[in-house]
Structure 1
Amino acid sequence: MTKVLVLHSVSIVRSALAALLRSEGGFDVTCAGWRSAARETESLRPDVTVVDLDCPGASATLEARAGTSRPLDGPPAPLLVLATSAAPGSLQRGVRAAARGYVDKDGSPGRLVRAIRKVAAGERFVDPSLASALLEADPMPLSPRELTVLARAAEGDSIAEIAHALHLASGTVRNYMAAATRKIGARNRIDAIRISRRAGWV
């Protein structure tokens, strides 16, 4: 039985994905939101973790995963991401988080099932449409730390909250935010978040 953890901020979406996978047989599926992601990862020890790249909350979680050897504060599990070719920049988040599977959300449910089985078996799975989009994506100018700070800001975290979460001084967080804003040619933090979201970076 392949243990799968589905992470999504929207309850009805993660429940629908879990129901789809359970109907296929051979999957022990748990679904969770971001608040309980670390706890579920620790207790379940999934064979595959499925994350929607466009889901609110995904940015900060994936950037945290990219910067630590203990993804989601739990034991490592192969990551499979759901994405669209319309936002090629977002695929880079999956690359930074070392995702092993990339499934086009516009594809068939059967592709998701096949992808999970391949990733659980230690193989890679990349939808051709997503591979093309990734190659065409504009280069992302921010450092991993700048991107992590911006991603958390995009989720609504304050400077103090970001500093606490990343174990940094508030002044350091402000410096990272200022550097990110300057690098992407934004007027201020709000503009930096808008530009980054449009590019699919956060």
Structure 2
Amino acid sequence: MTSSTLLGIGLYTPSDAERLIRVPAGKISRWLKGHSIRGKHYEPLWRPQIDLDDDRVYLGFRDLMEMRTAHAFMERGVSAIAIRRAISEASRLVDDERPLSTKKFKTDGRAIFLEIVREDGGTQLVDIFRKQYAFQKIIEQSLADVDFDGIAPGRWWPATRAKGIVVDPARSFGQPIDEESGVPTTTLAAALQAEGGIEAAARAWQVKPSAVRRAADFETALLQRAA
């Protein structure tokens, strides 16, 4: 893949993804590359959008959104094996390689999972998804503040829409940006440090002071979450 083919897809290393969605980079690499434990090999949960042919794992924006949902299920006790099976079956029902992050899954996911359970007789997913409240809680957390383009996620507001920071694969390769100015939050936060003040940083990048403030607040919040 080239930089031109990556336009509109987004580009994230596992470390980038960990910074944004708080899923450990090591887990992301294992889940998307596959791994072996005590001689048993586990296939990837799904095929990543991006392959730069260097034997490293990269995520596209859709992978990032799918990972948020898959991780939310695992945090509630659903095993990676069950998630892999669910993705395989749900992708057929939803007609999308990354079904957990689709709008159809957001609205019909509980019915989809219960259909999967009925087909294979599994009990774990029944225990998790029998209660509507538990299922909706997972979905609300994992797909909160996502804008959909048709069935697929198109943009994500990682600090809520009111904060004005957006992750959009069509802009800056999917890095978090100040929505109004379009400048990456890392750039504006670095400018604040270099220039020594909000007004000076805003002049340097020809943006409003509020843009610098939003970006700096967002980056500070990410650092505090990681601490």
Q: Which has the larger radius of gyration?
A: 2
Whichever structure has more strand as a proportion of its residues is 1
How does the TM-score come out when normalised to structure 2? 0.34
TM norm structure 1: 0.37
